[in-house]
Amino acid sequence: MRLTEIRVAGFGGQGVILSAIVLGKAASIYENGFATMTQNFGPEARGGACSAQLILSDEPVLYPYVTRPDIMVVMSQEAYNRFAPELKPAGMLIIEEDLVRVSNVNSDKKVYSIPATRIAEGLGKRMVLNSVMVGFFTAVTKLLTADAVRKAVADSVPPSFRELNLQAFEKGFEYGNNELAAAPPRQGLEELAYSSE
C-alpha cells in the first residue's frame, strides 16, 4: 500500500475513533505496514463532533497529520460540512447515506454510500455501525485485505461483542462488494484502486 491519508469523522458515540484504530491495526499488525493516528473530539462526549486522522503506508510515516485526505469516511452531516472540502482531487468519499446529504462534490471524486446505521439496527445494536462502515471501507477501497481487517475487528472489541461486530463487518463488506459490482469506479480513480499486495 502506498502512503494513504484517511479522515474518519462523525459524532461521538458512532465509534469513529475505534474505526480508525481497527484500520490502523489491520495495516500495522496484520499486514506488516505502518500506521499513525491522531484524534479530536468536541466538548461533548456523545453527540459532539469527533474525527480521527489515519495515515497508512508500507514505509515508516514521517509526519503523522493528514494534510489532504485521499479517503474520507463521514458519518454525520456536521462532519461532511466541515471536512468534505479537504478531500483531495480524485479522492474517495464514503458516507452514511441516511445521515449525510452530499452537495457540491466535484465529479472527479468517487462517492460510495451505505445505510450503516440501519444495517446495524437490523443486527440488533446500533452501536456496531462502525464495524459496518469498516467492512464497507474494506470492500470499496481495496486498501487492506478483508482477513487483516477481520482480525483487527476481533482484536479491538470486547469478547462479548466480538461475534456481533464480526457480523457487522461482514454485512458492510458484502454491501460494499455489491455496490462495486453495480457501479464500478469512474475514470480518474485508478490511483485509488489500491492493492494490498
Would you state the pLDDT for residue 46? 58
pLDDT of residue 191: 38
Q: What is the pLDDT of residues 123-154, one digit of tens each?
A: 999 999 999 999 999 999 999 999 999 999 99
State yes or no: pLDDT of 187 exceeds 80: no
The domains of the chain, with CATH numbers, are: 4-188 (3.40.920.10)
What is the pLDDT confidence band of residue 190, given thresholds at 50, 70 and 90? very low
Residue 195 has pLDDT above 50, yes or no: no
Secondary structure of the chain in the HEC alphabet?
Answer: CCCEEEEEEEECCCCHHHHHHHHHHHHHCCCCCEEEEEEEECCCCCCCEEEEEEEEECCCCCCCCCCCCCEEEECCHHHHHHHHHHCCCCCEEEEECCCCCCCCCCCCCEEEEECHHHHHHHCCCHHHHHHHHHHHHHHHHCCCCHHHHHHHHHHHCCHHHHHHHHHHHHHHHHHHHHHHHHCCCCCCCHHHCCCCC
pTM: predicted TM-score of the whole model, two decimal places: 0.88
pLDDT averaged over every residue in the chain: 88
